[in-house]
């Protein structure tokens, strides 16, 4: 049996039972970030980590070292925001073949520093380690502060409104353009899609805003809308019903660049967008009732006989989303 045969979710289900969760942990593995008590009132500290590997998460042909640094910060801070927390600091690990140009490591750090500063945070430390020929990997651990209870994946309830802050499918469309290979002469508007893939800019401030507004569940969209909504559905024991009409504009905006079918796949299954998907009590359904930056895209329904899952206009979409091991 290999990792490819089981995929990420099944691997996690097998390893979680082997890992003791420290005493007095508020929230252990399984959500966007873990939570421990801060020791100050009811507030908590969130902790999360995300890694990028050359060849798997970026290619040097299309991403500069600064892009890689900024993207790794964005991925991590999106997980902090998805708990409803604000960033408190980063730890950075660089694992590199000793033949890596010094300039690459310097530019990586410049990208990390700029992205951290833009998010009103900074770097607390890290680690350096060498690796075999051609290996290059960046790992960041982010720490965040909560002002109130964390917003987990498990609090969605039937009747809630499903809303998203940030764009959908743009990083995936950028990846399509890179993989198609003819991106160097891209039109100005296509360059925005390439940038969304090189260094996404998640709506970080929307996370704490959602928490403040009473969001019941939240996740950042790293592996695709349907797959990540499915994680909220599974954790909450509900069905998430997305409305095709609410996604039509997102799909139409990408179609001229990648074609209609790929545009739909980008919006429903594209990874690395790091927008925030949240479920709010139904009385907040009107856009002015939702916190700034969120727009409604669906409803939470009872799970029904088929169990928790995601549907689009009542039908289970035939899209998969990203899995590092192909599961
Ligand atoms: N090797 C591991 N050991 C323990 N927990 C892990 C491991 N890998 C991932 N996790 C936990 O599993 C959950 C899902 O991980 P992941 O899919 O990477 O989350 P995200 O998409 O939010 O970055 C997270 O709570 C994470 O902390
Ligand atoms: C060379 C290359 N191939 C494929 C991808 C696509 N890709 C890599 S990781 C990923 C999903 C996000 O993975 P990760 O950042 O590990 O997410 P998380 O742990 O937050 O779920 C996608 C769509 C890419 N960015 N670069
Ligand atoms: Mg996440």
Q: Looking at residue 263, which CATH number applies to its domain? A: 3.90.650.10
322 assigned binding-site residue:
yes
100 assigned binding-site residue:
no
pLDDT on residue 89: 98
H-assigned helices in the chain:
3-15, 65-82, 102-118, 170-180, 188-198, 206-212, 225-236, 244-258, 260-269
DSSP secondary structure letter of residue 58: B
Domain assignment present for 156? no
Domain assignment present for 319? no
pLDDT on residue 287: 66
pLDDT on residue 327: 58
Same-domain check for residues 101 and 208: no
**Residues having C-beta closer than 5 Å to ion ligand 3:** 32, 79, 220
Provide, for the chain, the percentages of residues in helix, strand and coil under a 3-state DSSP scheme, each rounded to the nearest 5.
40, 25, 35
Same-domain check for residues 122 and 200: no
Pocket flag, ligand 1, residue 12 (CB < 6 Å): yes
**Gap from CA of 133 to ligand 3 centroid (Å):** 31
62 assigned binding-site residue:
no
Question: Residue 307 CB: number of other CB atoms within 10 A?
Answer: 11
Contact 90, 140 (CB under 8 A): yes
Domain assignment present for 153? no
Pocket flag, ligand 1, residue 15 (CB < 6 Å): yes
Question: Residue 57 CB: number of other CB atoms within 10 A?
Answer: 18
Domain assignment present for 27? yes
**Gap from CA of 8 to ligand 1 centroid (Å):** 9
Alpha-carbon span 100 to 104, nearest angstrom:
7
Pocket flag, ligand 2, residue 59 (CB < 6 Å): yes
Instruction: With H, G, I as helix, E, B as strand and everything else as coil, classify residue 181.
Output: coil
Q: By alpha-carbon position, which residue is closest to atom 14 of ligand 1?
A: 30
Same-domain check for residues 173 and 198: yes
Could you tell me the CATH number of the domain that includes residue 42?
3.30.1330.10
Question: Does this complex have an ipTM over 0.95?
Answer: yes
Same-domain check for residues 57 and 172: no
Q: Give the strand order in the sheet containing 25-27.
A: 25-27, 34-37, 44-53, 136-145, 86-97, 123-131
Nearest atom in ligand 1 to the alpha carbon of residue 19 is 4
**Count of structural domains within the chain:** 2
Same-domain check for residues 209 and 304: yes
Same-domain check for residues 170 and 306: yes
Which ligand has the minimum distance to the alpha carbon of residue 207?
Answer: 3
Domain assignment present for 326? no
Domain assignment present for 322? no
Domain assignment present for 327? no
Q: Which of 145, 177, 209 is the last residue of a domain?
A: 145
223 assigned binding-site residue:
yes
Alpha-carbon span 58 to 93, nearest angstrom:
17
pLDDT on residue 286: 66
Alpha-carbon span 46 to 207, nearest angstrom:
13
Same-domain check for residues 78 and 172: no
Q: Which of 145, 179, 209 is the last residue of a domain?
A: 145
Same-domain check for residues 200 and 123: no
Q: By alpha-carbon position, which residue is closest to atom 8 of ligand 1?
A: 12
127 assigned binding-site residue:
yes
pLDDT on residue 107: 98
Pocket flag, ligand 1, residue 160 (CB < 6 Å): no
Task: Tell me whether residue 38 is exposed, middle or buried, using C-beta atoms within 10 angstroms of its C-beta: 0 to 12, 13 to 18, 19 or more.
Answer: middle
Pocket flag, ligand 2, residue 57 (CB < 6 Å): yes
Alpha-carbon span 7 to 285, nearest angstrom:
35
H-assigned helices in 222-319:
225-236, 244-258, 260-269
List the pLDDT tens digit at each of the 327 positions of the chain.
Answer: 999 999 998 999 999 999 999 998 999 999 999 999 988 877 899 999 999 999 999 999 999 999 999 999 999 999 999 999 999 999 999 999 999 999 999 999 999 999 999 999 999 999 999 999 999 999 999 999 999 999 999 999 999 999 999 999 999 999 999 999 888 888 888 999 999 999 999 999 999 999 999 999 999 999 999 999 999 999 999 999 999 999 999 999 999 999 999 999 999 999 999 999 999 999 777 666 899 999 999 999 999 899 999 999 999 998 888 888 875
pLDDT on residue 325: 86
Same-domain check for residues 124 and 186: no
Same-domain check for residues 247 and 305: yes
How many Cα atoms occupy the beta-carbon half-sphere of 61 within 13 Å?
A: 12
The domain of 232 spans: 161-312
Contact 191, 269 (CB under 8 A): no
The neighbouring-strand residues paired with 80 are: none
Report the relative pairing of strands 309-312 and 238-242 from DSSP bridges: parallel
Domain assignment present for 107? yes
Contact 120, 85 (CB under 8 A): no
Q: Nearest CA to 216 among 270, 266, 161, 164? A: 161
Same-domain check for residues 118 and 204: no
Same-domain check for residues 192 and 119: no
Q: By alpha-carbon position, which residue is closest to atom 6 of ligand 1?
A: 29
**Gap from CA of 42 to ligand 2 centroid (Å):** 35
């Amino acid at each position: 049996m290999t990792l490819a045969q089981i995929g990420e979710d099944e691997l996690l289900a097998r390893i979680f039972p082997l890992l003791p969760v420290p005493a007095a942990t508020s929230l252990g593995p399984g959500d966007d970030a873990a939570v421990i008590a801060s020791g100050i009132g009811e507030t908590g500290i969130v902790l999360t980590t995300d890694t990028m590997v050359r060849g798997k998460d970026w290619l040097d042909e299309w991403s500069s070292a600064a892009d890689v640094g900024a993207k790794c910060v964005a991925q991590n801070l999106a997980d902090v925001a998805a708990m409803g927390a604000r960033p408190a600091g980063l730890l950075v690990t660089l694992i590199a073949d000793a033949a890596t140009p010094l300039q690459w490591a310097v530019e990586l750090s410049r990208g990390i520093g700029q992205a951290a500063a833009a998010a009103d945070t900074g770097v607390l430390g890290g680690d350096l380690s060498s690796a075999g020929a051609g290996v290059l990997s960046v790992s960041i651990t982010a720490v965040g502060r909560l002002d109130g209870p964390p917003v987990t994946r498990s609090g969605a309830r039937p009747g809630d409104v499903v809303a998203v802050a940030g764009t959908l499918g743009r990083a995936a469309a950028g990846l399509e353009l890179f993989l198609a290979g003819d991106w160097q002469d891209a039109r100005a508007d296509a360059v925005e899609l390439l940038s969304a893939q090189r260094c996404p800019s998640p709506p970080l401030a929307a996370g704490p805003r959602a928490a403040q507004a009473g969001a019941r569940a939240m996740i950042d969209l790293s592996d695709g809308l349907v797959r990540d909504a499915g994680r909220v559905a599974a954790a909450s024991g509900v069905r998430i019903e997305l409305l095709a009409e609410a996604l039509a504009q997102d799909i139409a905006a990408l179609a001229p660049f990648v074609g209609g079918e790929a545009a739909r796949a980008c919006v429903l299954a594209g990874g690395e967008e790091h927008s925030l998907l949240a479920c709010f009590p139904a009385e907040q359904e009107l856009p002015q009732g939702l916190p700034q930056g969120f727009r409604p895209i669906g409803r939470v329904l009872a799970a029904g006989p088929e169990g928790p899952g995601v549907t689009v206009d009542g039908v289970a979409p035939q899209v998969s989303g990203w899995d590092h091991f192909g599961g």
